[in-house]
Structure 1
Amino acid sequence: MYIENTGIENIVSDLFILDEIMLQHDLIRGGQWDYERVTYDKKYTLKEGTFYLRVFGFATEGDVDARDAIIQLKKPVIGKHYYPFGVEYGEDEHFPKSLIKDCETTLKKVLVALEKHNLKTV
């Protein structure tokens, strides 16, 4: 499920700044990256299952592996994890309202932190 109108989609930032701000809000850049893309995850374990808030980004300049990249963020998404298959993002998934609210709150806090760095949008 995409989270619409968060304000962070299309923000462009230095990877170092993004890593710091995302980590402050429990969004971890794990192993789901390559030289051109990054994924920040916040994991939620609820009685309804395991969910992830994911913020994707891609390098417009530089190299993610070298930690020298400029990243453009994309629209955030919430997904549900199904063992052993992975995370599903489908619109037919059920996402608890409390989860959606927490994800929106987290994204607002991330946006405020990113705006303090006078980042540009595209």
Structure 2
Amino acid sequence: MVPLDSEIEDKIYSLYVLEEKLKPEGFVIGSNWDYEKGFFDLKIDNKGIYYFLRIPFYAVAGSLDYPGVTVRLEKPFLLAHQYEKGYDEEGIGGALRGSIDQFQSPTDPDANVPDEYINIGKKLMQKVENLILPLY
């Protein structure tokens, strides 16, 4: 995990407004959210290691399942997950294989993030800042 300094940290926004700005850029709300906190995730690459830009947030007014919830953004970071490599020797491809692999735990949930991806992450955060800081 590589923390990224950003001016969005500690800013408060409507979750709905953030979704309208970030989802068209490829961000999704990660599946590991609960009623108090969540993450905007952007997959940067998946060449054997999945690199993500992650922007954590937590509810300050309402809960995440409530329309109109307001959230505070936390320090963004880059995250790398390395999954087990292999191929389908048995010929069990397609949807069946995908339904199994989606629940596979990373072999290295905190893999090293090379400088190349740190630079990409910084540029992506500049773009995010340009999108949402004027809304603050």
Q: Considering the TM-score relative to the shorter chain, is it more than 0.5?
A: yes
The one-letter code of the counterpart of 2:109 is E
Distance 1:116 1:9 in 2: 14
The aligned counterpart of 2:38 is 38
Identity %: 24
TM-score normalised by the chain length of structure 2 = 0.74
Q: Aligned residue for 1:57? A: 57
Question: Any gaps of 5 or more consecutive residues in structure 1?
Answer: none
In structure 2, C-alpha distance between the alignment counterparts of 1:28 and 1:59, rounded to whole Å: 17
Does the alignment pair 1:101 with 2:119?
yes
Structure ranking higher on relative contact order (CA contacts 8 Å, 6+ apart): 1
- Separation of aligned partners in 1, 2:49 and 2:40: 19
Count, aligned residues: 115
2:105 counterpart residue number: 85
More helix by percentage: 2
Larger Rg: 2
The answer to whether the 8 Å contact 2:11/2:73 transfers is: yes
Relative to structure 2, which stretch is displaced further, 45-54 or 12-21? 45-54
Q: Specify the alignment match of 1:70 in structure 2.
A: 70
| Root mean square deviation, CA, Å | 1.9
Which whole-Å CA distance do the structure 2 matches of 1:27 and 1:47 have between them?
Answer: 19
Deviates more, 1:1-10 or 1:34-43: 1-10
